Structure 1
Amino acid sequence: MDSIDHTFNSGPFATAVWNFFAATAGLQPGQLTLKARLRQWWTTKTRNAGHQLLLQATPVFICWNLWQNRCASKYGGKVTNISRVKYAIYKDTYKMLENTFPQINWPARWTTLLQTSERCKHTIKVYMVAWKRPPEHWIKLNTDGSAVINTGKIGAGGILRNREGKMVMAYSVFLGEGSNNQAETKAAQLGLSWALELGYKNIQMELDSQLVVQWITKKTAPQWTVANQVEEIQQLISQTQYFSCSHIFREANSVADSLAKHSNNTTTPQVYFNTNQLPKETQAYYQMDLQNMPTFRRKKTKKIFEPP
């Protein structure tokens, strides 16, 4: 029977090939549908960029070489050879990894190739970041959104600080259910509204969502789910005299981040005008910012290396 499913998945030859590579990769072998096989490879937790690339590309190479084997057998008169197909799949994977990560000495056997990909580590870049006070005659607004994946609950947090770095007001608001982008944009909208109500016209806003910054600065069009919120933000911006919006690293936005997370423990909006009213964790981050204390940002680079 020469069907698509038989050639790529359910036939004895295809099953043997899939099971060999699945077993060595630590995946569950067996008689699965092709869709289930691909999902298994593509959703397995990976350890680094090299391991991720191997798990994503190998099933594609398996399908390609199964198809080549079928055509060579049917039209080229070649005898089906499972060892040849396994080697071709390994060779394709090897060449891909060698071209993508030439700094790694990739081994010449599939099992050791896989083990090497699992052992590789990302280079970690560490550098200091810190919150900075606004310029003279400006107020700084830091906002953040919180989204709990398990429950779908979202919240908003933000803080207004003056030239001396001292708090003017802060807020923590539970928003119900929604997406992280909805939480981020609502947090920005609430903060701008309160800043304007308090009479501030020169507003410097910082968010740790690069995407939302691009929406607010009109560099990209917003998603339809937040289009109305972004439009409300633009209307508020038109009421300012001077306005700027920029990205800040999450590690330097800890005060707003803690206020956003605190909203998940509340049911009514919390507005603070005194630092003693702030949640304990937020108070600690606020004091660090007030004293110009930096924090460390650790980021994985795309480059990987094989540990000794």
Structure 2
Amino acid sequence: MWFNCAKRSSHRGILIGIIPSIITWRLWARQCKARMEGVQLSIDSVWMEIKFWIHHVSENLLKVTSLSSTDRKLLNDLEVPIVPVKKRVPKCIKWWRPSAGWVKLNIDGSCQGNPGNCGGGGVICDSTGSLIAAFSESYGFGTNNNRS
């Protein structure tokens, strides 16, 4: 029933859905440590490990815009930080034609991952906005700041 309540379409829902797995995994690890190594971990230390792993997973998954009161209470009880998504303000960008007799070069680059595959390209346009030339290049593996 728990897994049916978790919404798989959101990061929060995924986190809530895997909480039983994290709890089961830490309890199983506690039992194995007791049976195989003769070390009995306290319930408090197991609870701290559970909260650590939920927090660790949430750092990568939990980016929310809104929470239901039930979800907020559950995450607060488990001491999972709620990280709000920063709202981006759209910025209107307009291309301005160069003066008569001039050309304009527009370039850009990107990296798929950081590090990851990098590439770039550009266009040259005249004062009427007509394309004169265009180019692109793969730069191989690197970061968004430099090539490795």
Give TM-score, length-normalised by structure 1. Answer: 0.25
Bigger Rg, which one: 1
> Whose helix proportion is higher, 1 or 2?
1
Superposition TM-score, scaled by structure 2 size? 0.47
